[in-house]
Structure 1
Amino acid sequence: MLRSPILICATALLLILILILCPAAAAENESVFFHINEGCDYVEARQYTKGIASFDRAIELEPEFSLPWYNKGVTFHEMRRYDEALESYDQAVALDPYNPDTLFNRGIVLQTLGR
């Protein structure tokens, strides 16, 4: 079972709430979360290419943050572009090796690819 885009967006919103409680961090990462949320909105509207572009912009701004990589993986997965989904999940795992959602979805992609 693939983790839904709604769950991804809920996770992003939770992180935003946490950052609101820490204004210095929020100011530093505001544009990153803007692009993540924008990407989630595009994915929810099934505008996958625009969603990926938004996640790519978030990655450019904060390359060590795993969430846009995870979201990109979910988006590629929904598009059935499994090799690209796996690459994105691999990047997310490299940055956050204990995220159960990323590990789960990565396993689903590997199973789909017969690996």
Structure 2
Amino acid sequence: MVAAGGAVWAVLSQPAATDSEAKPAPRDVSEAQTLLSAGLMQSQYQDFSGAATSFKRVVALDPHNKIAWYNLGVIAQRDGKKTDALEAYDKALKIDPSFDSALFNEALLLKSSKPDRSIKLLKRVVAHNSKASTAYLHLGEALAKKGRDDEAQDAFSRAVSADPKLLSFVPEPFQASASPSPSTSQAGTAE
């Protein structure tokens, strides 16, 4: 799967269509799944133009395919097409409002232009996944920029707790209190 700016938490289940939405025909769903697999393979081999074509064909057959919309967003983000990326992530999130990969990538796109929206999206990610260390790190950065230092400190501490290798990415003023505490066995040893 294509990934930009962080971990991918893709869930392959598709939501059921409501009565007001037309369900794709079984043949279309089968063809869409084949095209989705092709697009994912093309992405893996860095044929992003071919992958985008495949994903566009998927959503033409199955407009409720969040994986295809998400990957269209990733490709647009990779190509510097922020508006297209946001539109694709929004479509994926309309299908599945708890799709962490789309939430995370959209939050990164909005981090500098709409920090409050970015914070809300990142909070949704960490609410679903308490081990989302990179999301916590970005949340801490966004909160620190807003002057919300106590909340930022908590986010940085959670990031480092989930992945101690992230400590070097924590801004200097927050590093000391974000550092993992020594284990009781280390604290109890005498030199």
Q: Name the counterpart of 1:22.
A: none
**C-alpha contact 1:3 1:74 (8 A) present in aligned 2:** no
1:56 maps to amino acid? K
Question: Displacement of 1:77 after TM fit?
Answer: 1.5
2-structure distance, mates of 1:37, 1:3: 21
- State whether structure 2 residue 83 is matched by structure 1 residue 83: yes
| CA-to-aligned-CA distance 1:71-107 (integer Å, 9 cap, x gap) | 1111111222222111100111111111111111110
Indicate the residue corresponding to 2:63 in structure 1: 63
Distance (Å, rounded) in 1 between the aligned partners of 2:83 and 2:44: 22
Structure 2 gaps of 5+ residues are: 14-25, 115-191
Pair 1:33–1:68, CA change in 2 (3 A): same
Structure 1 residue 2 corresponds to structure 2 residue 5: yes
Q: Are 2:111 and 1:108 equivalent residues in the alignment? A: no
Does structure 2 retain, via aligned residues, the 8 Å contact 1:32–1:58?
A: yes
In structure 2, distance between residues paired with 1:11 and 1:93: 12
* Structure with larger RCO (C-alpha < 8 A, sep 6+): 1
C-alpha RMSD of the superposition = 2.3
Q: Percent identity?
A: 24
Query: Going by fraction, where is helix more abundant, 1 or 2?
Result: 1
Secondary structure in 2 aligned to 1:97?
coil
Paired residue total: 98
- Structure 1 residue ranges, 4+ long, deviating more than 3 angstroms after superposition: none
Please say which structure displays the higher CA radius of gyration. 2
Aligned residue type for 1:104 = F
| TM-aligned CA deviation for residue 45 of structure 1 | 2.0
> What secondary structure sits across from 2:111 in the alignment?
helix
Deviations 1:20-46 (A, max 9, x none): xxxxxxx65321111111111222222
Partners of 2:35 and 2:58 within 8 A in 1: yes
Which residue does the alignment assign to 2:32?
32
Q: Distance in 2 between matches of 1:46 and 1:103?
A: 23
Question: What's 2:46 paired with?
Answer: 46
* Distance in structure 1 (CA, Å) of the matches to 2:94 and 2:82: 18
Tell me if the contact between 2:11 and 2:99 (Cα under 8 Å) persists in the aligned partners: no
